[in-house]
Structure 1
Amino acid sequence: MPINIPSGLPATEILKEEKIFIMDEVRSTSQNIRPLNILIFNLMPEKEKTELQLLRLLGNTPLQVNVTFLNTATHESKNVSKNHLESFYTTFEHVKHRKFDGMIITGAPIELFEFHEVDFWDEMVEIMEWTKTNVTSVLNICWGAQAALYYHYGIGKYTLPSKCSGVFDHIVHDSTVKLIRGFNDVYTAPHSRNTSVSREAILNHPDLELVSESDEAGAFIIVSRDEKQIMITGHLEYDADTLKQEYDRDVAKGIEPQVPKHYFPNDDPTKKPLNRWRSHTHLLFSNWLNYYVYQETPYEWE
């Protein structure tokens, strides 16, 4: 089944080329189907790239999905045109009266700030509190995951000695957890962050389960016992070349970044990186939509 996205969204043509089944708002209204309503709070600076990455994953399941993009009202996005935001995004004030079957809160390159120093933190808190009663399940990614752990469970973050950047092996602790059904016992996933969270704090919290982790990158998949909050500390949604683009950007800035670990063939930045996490990414998003959203959300919210 397709994803229903706003008419004219730039990602549309690329998704069509990739044979992702999509439909616009006009066609979707003619189908007598109860679609899933997913809200995406896109905090990434290059919003169009993140839109494409997430829509590609949401469109690869048997479920029809309506997508709404949310932007901050208290922070001005500088890496995307105002016209794009006005055409395809809304703010919390316009959706807070609604119920959503699922929500994705993305990462943001602000992890070195304390949470209360983030200029839209009050807005973020209001939205995270709202999800408790208005969203069936929330998928929190990278900084979004750290924010959720801090707000909902009182687990803070700490700064790493050096940036965690690369593609790392992860182990599965409990293969019966629905979110990772079908996963290999060991799989790879990308990370790109300057902070981390305490695995001990997660293990000791009665409301959380540490589902998967990496010896090098730390805690990775954390699921709340009530299954309403899922925290992914890395970036499974990344394309094959996303870490390369970040690395090249930092090199151009004169930052002299470390080469992302286990990413480039033979650790040579001149060689083309390969996507070694795609299958598990699709599986995780499919499992989330099916087991945590579709199977749990009421047919009629009211």
Structure 2
Amino acid sequence: MLLKRHQRSFYYHYLCKVNGRIVLEDIDYQNLKNYLRGFDGEYAFFECIKDFDDLVRIWDLTLDVFGTAQYDFLFVANETVIHIDIKNYSGLYRFDNGNFISQKGYVHQGLLSQLDRAHRKLEQFIAHHKFDYKVSSRILFVNPEFKLQGYNGNEQIVFFNQMKDVVSYLKSLVSNEADLKLGLILVDNHVEKEYNRVFYYKYELMEKGVRCVQCDMFGMFFEKSQRTMQCICGHEVKKKEYIIEAIEDVSLFKNGSFTRKEVERYTGVNATTLKRYLRKYCEKVGSYKDAHYRYKK
């Protein structure tokens, strides 16, 4: 029972779409880099537990218990909520007074204290909703390239070579109705993170065209048939999906209305075909040469 999976915030959705089309500002570049590294780690773990249908699973939850706390993965079974915080660090680190310090000198401070804070807030939440459940919290380093020196052992820290044991244990669990009830309460109390900073880059300076999911190139599709578009790498998509994605892209990048000509240049699809899709999926503002469109979200 997967009750919730990770969903990108608008901020990161926008950055993922813009990335590669224009040079990002430093703050956006670093934020996106950190987000994608973290997501890759979480996704790698999710692939290991995605088929555990008998277990209540929650991927990416934020609770507000006198201040917010974020949880990568929660599992509910056997009157226990298992909290696993995923870290996707790579390379050689040393452990010093509770800090994780990379070879380049970057210091990850207070990982265990952050885990303990989230752990206690989860205990408070569960007690407030009158469930007599324990909480078990762990940090899981999912990257096989992560090495740690000066580490003297801590049961709350799990490494890649121990992940099989964690996955095997989770696979053995079966959730009941009470576990499902608590899981649903947790999801119902999820609060979305707010990102105040969304800097819209200039559309005129962006590289245009639908991105190919296979070769990652922009604008390399051509019409193979009446219903199919094909990238020069050989990847094929349905023309309908291709045009809808292009409309979504242009609407997002323009942050407002757009013209048929802009979509035509973005897709390389003829005007007659585009007009049919624009009528169906967009609202038309104005007429003739001054006509603009707004995507119906």
Give the structure-1-normalised TM-score: 0.31
Structure with larger Rg? 2
Give the structure-2-normalised TM-score: 0.31
